Amino acid sequence: MSLTGDPGMDQLIPIAMQLVGAVRRFDPAGVAEAIEAARAMPDGALTVLLAAMVPWDKAPTELLAWWTRRADYQKLVGAGVDPATAMTLIEGGAQWSTGSYGNDAPGGPGVR
């Protein structure tokens, strides 16, 4: 089953997901590995695929909230929240405290 309708682009999906994961984990070696894997594909194909995966109805400030508030993002992920949920909490305006207020589990005193 094809997700894009183009076999070449379909081959890039795992590479794109590897790149996204490496960026979110702040893993420079993983980023370099994904970019190297994409080199075998036509120039610009990875860029086009990743651009197609970005929700067009969100502002860049929303899409990059996990980066601009990376201390909060890392705190949530470190507490066991999956990266997508952490991003949603940050984008949604949930105030995650990076301080130590008892239970650091998501939904506990750390979220206010």
Residue 49 maps to a domain: yes
35, 55, 54, 56: which is closest to 46 by C-alpha? 35
Domain identity same for 28 and 17 = yes
Spatial distance between the Cα atoms of 69 and 51, rounded to a whole number of angstroms: 22
Q: Higher pLDDT residue, 72 or 112?
A: 72
- What's residue 93's pLDDT? 60
Spatial distance between the Cα atoms of 12 and 78, rounded to a whole number of angstroms: 29
The boundaries of the domain holding residue 40 are 7-54
Extract the tokens encoding 96: 């995650």
Quickly count: other Cβ atoms within 10 Å of residue 96's Cβ: 21
- What's residue 31's pLDDT? 93
Domain identity same for 50 and 24 = yes
Domain identity same for 64 and 78 = yes
58-62: which pairs have CB atoms within 8 A and are 24 or more residues apart? 62/91
- What's residue 98's pLDDT? 45
pLDDT tens digits for range 54-93: 888 888 888 887 788 888 888 998 999 888 788 788 877 6
Question: Is pLDDT at 105 greater than 60 in this prediction?
Answer: no
Spatial distance between the Cα atoms of 12 and 22, rounded to a whole number of angstroms: 15
Residue 1 maps to a domain: no
Domain identity same for 38 and 12 = yes
